[in-house]
Amino acid sequence: MTKITGGSTAPLDNHTTTTSSSDDSQSTRRSSDRPTGGATLSGLNDLSTPHTRRNEVTNHAASHMGQPGATYYSAAVYGVSSVLQHGQLGITKGSRDSVVSNLDGIADGTQTHTDAHMKESKAFGKDAVEHLQRGEYRDAAVTAAGSAINAVASMTVGPARDFETARQHPDPQIAAAAAASLHQDFATLPSPTRSTHE
């Protein structure tokens, strides 16, 4: 194979030989020669890893933090994601997609904080079960904690923030949607039943 460099060409060696500490020679494939699984350039997101996805979430949250009118949500996502990134904990594609969608929706006024926390609780809960089934106990514990924290937030800080949006947002459509969502979001929760034994 020929490698094109600037205006000239040079032969390209596809394999290198390395010597291990035991003096055994072995052929090593170059990264540019590894199979891509039929992926095209447009499908590179499919080749992401839990760690690259974690980095995407951290960076996406950071970009939302700097926007005018940003709420606690982007700062909370950034803080938690940064800590998890530092601890070498990745994120699944489904949870990454959920978090990014929630960040975008909250920023453009189409997503409530309550619903965002509910969606993340569900996504992280699903991940926790899958990690547990695969014996990935550390990841299962972290995602279960994330699910629980978001479940609590969906009943505390999320509705409080949505109530403030309903009361004070300058756009009446967003304010009305926030007010309506408070009823709608809580309508999705199971109703508590009263015990007949007293």
For residue 109, what pLDDT is reported?
A: 83
For residue 133, what pLDDT is reported?
A: 97
Structurally, the chain folds into a number of domains equal to 1
Which structural domain range is residue 169 located in? 48-187
Higher pLDDT, 182 or 115: 115
In a domain, 33, yes or no: no
Let me know: does 39 contact 46? Beta carbons within 8 Å.
yes
Q: What's the pTM?
A: 0.67
For residue 159, what pLDDT is reported?
A: 87
pLDDT (tens digit per residue) in 125-171:
999 999 999 999 999 999 999 999 999 999 899 988 888 888 887 88
In a domain, 194, yes or no: no
In a domain, 175, yes or no: yes
In a domain, 5, yes or no: no
In a domain, 196, yes or no: no
State the pLDDT confidence band at 16, using cuts at 50, 70 and 90: very low
In a domain, 20, yes or no: no
Higher pLDDT, 192 or 68: 68
In a domain, 8, yes or no: no
Let me know: does 77 contact 91? Beta carbons within 8 Å.
no
For residue 119, what pLDDT is reported?
A: 94
pLDDT (tens digit per residue) in 90-117:
999 999 999 999 999 999 888 889 999 9
In a domain, 85, yes or no: yes
For residue 174, what pLDDT is reported?
A: 76
